[in-house]
Amino acid sequence: MKKSDARLPRLEDVAEHAGVSHQTVSRVINNHPNVSKATREKVEAAISELGYRRNTAARSLVTRRSQTIGVLGSELAQYGPANTLLGVEQAARDAGYFVSIAALRSVSRDAIFDALRHFTDQSVDGIAVLVPHSETLAILEEYNAGVPVIAVGSLGNAAVSGAMVDQKRGAELAVGHLIECGHRRIGHVAGPSDWTDGALRAEGWRSALADAGLPHDLLHEGDWSAGSGYEIGCRLAAERSATALFVGNDQMALGILRAFNEAGVRVPDDVSVVGFDDQPESAYFSPPLTTVRQDFEELGRRCMDIMLKEIEAGASVSSTVVTPGLLLRASTAPPAASPSQPSGT
């Protein structure tokens, strides 16, 4: 087909050019798994050469689907929510869906309902909700969107499916590592308690210490920021009440490391520190930070797996959990022997 032709290339033209059936071209376009690598490459080359573009408007009229997923988020300046959003968006695009994003400035029933109505007006095929506050699930249960709704960062409930990283397990891995190092006084600098992640990480800290017969009375609450970590770190440097800290995220851990450095508290010689998230910068903290890694790409894929099952087959409400991992770096070590160090439980 010459570029001067007035008619835009159609799916049948791609099929003829590639020497395959139009059903095969459709499978390639819709990322169907039952297509050989060689055939897929041949079809993709024909699509590129002819300049074929799928007519999504016509397809929507036939399928009654928009091929669009709505993503509702809040606190997107924070590392976890921002990377969860990226994971969901990439997984949606990989599945052949466009993404429409609505960001909330404040989390309230009215704000969430307004955003959900915006998505239903757009005729989205499903909605992923990345609002990490504990009251969000109850609000979602009140709204009948008429399409699948996935609560990302939660197990969901009887009305809403969920996809989450196991925050409690991540905390248990962090605290378990410190216990294995020999620490017996392990404090926790938690995120806000009204965040699902903050509450679950604190719960994991308590349960790991309780299982080991150790006290869990050294709790401080921050706001996820390096500034709050610095303020808490200044107090902890003066108190010297713990030989190890599990910190709710890497940003607060950064502030703590700064406060300890200024006060002459050596990490890990005097106090071991474990963070959470594995931000790209955490490997370059001084010292490099031992931390818990969340697989946001896998979380996005799991979210879309549930979404597509509900879209295609009307599957019932379900949940999926991604297991985090612990990355060991230089900020943790066995406690230094000291007469002032508590020796038991």
First to last CA, the chain: 79
Q: What is the pTM of this model?
A: 0.79
Q: What is the pLDDT of residue 174?
A: 98
Q: Cβ atoms within 10 A of the Cβ of 202, count?
A: 23
Amino acid at 153: G
120 φ, ψ to 5°? -65, -35
Please state, rounded to an integer, the average pLDDT across all residues of the chain: 89
Q: CA 290, CA 137: separation in Å to the nearest integer?
A: 32
Contact 140, 160 (CB under 8 A): yes
- Which CATH class, in words, describes the domain spanning 167-293? alpha beta
Average pLDDT over residues 189-194: 96
SS3 282: helix
CATH 3.40.50.2300 location in the chain: 66-166+295-323, 167-293
Helix, strand and coil in the chain, % to nearest 5? 45, 15, 40
Q: Residue 57, Cα to own-chain centre: how many angstroms? A: 32
- In this structure, CATH architecture of domain 66-166+295-323: 3-Layer(aba) Sandwich (3.40)
Q: What is the pLDDT of residue 2?
A: 44
Residues spanned by CATH 1.10.260.40 within the chain?
11-54
Tokens of 314: 């009307």
Selected residue with higher pLDDT from 283 and 6: 283
**The CATH number of domain 11-54, selected from 1.10.287.130, 1.10.260.40, 3.40.50.300, 3.40.1190.20:** 1.10.260.40
pLDDT of residue 326: 98
